[in-house]
Amino acid sequence: MKLRVVALQSLIFTVEWGLMLLGFGLISVLIVPYAIFPETGSIYRFLNAGLKALFGLMLSLVWLFIWDRQVRVFFYSKE
């Protein structure tokens, strides 16, 4: 494996993790304090928490998809 490819992937990995952590920080500041549903009953608190967790899971899936595409391009490309 080429050192340049490994260095580039390490840099991309670090930047993506930084962006992901920044994104989760923004989620905790912008999305978590606000209620999606009015918290009049206990079921609505669960729905609020579930939807917010689903949003975080979707961000994680997007990050994994981007990482998978990059790995396929860099490591399994025909030279």
d(CA 71, CA 68): 5
CA 22 remoteness from chain centre? 10
Residue-level pLDDT at 79: 56
Higher pLDDT, 74 or 61: 61
What is the pTM (predicted TM-score) of this model?
A: 0.55
Domain ranges across the chain: 3-75
pLDDT one-digit tens code per residue, 6-38: 888 888 888 878 877 887 777 777 777 777 778
Which among 1, 9, 8 has a CA at the least distance from the CA of 68? 9
pLDDT one-digit tens code per residue, 37-72: 787 878 888 888 888 888 878 877 887 788 777 777
Query: Is the separation of the CB atoms in 55 and 31 below 8 Å?
Result: yes
Residue-level pLDDT at 62: 82
Residue-level pLDDT at 60: 78
The per-residue b/e assignment along 49-77, b for 16 or more CB within 10 angstroms, e otherwise, is eeebeeebeebeeeeeeebeeeeeeeeee
Residue-level pLDDT at 59: 78
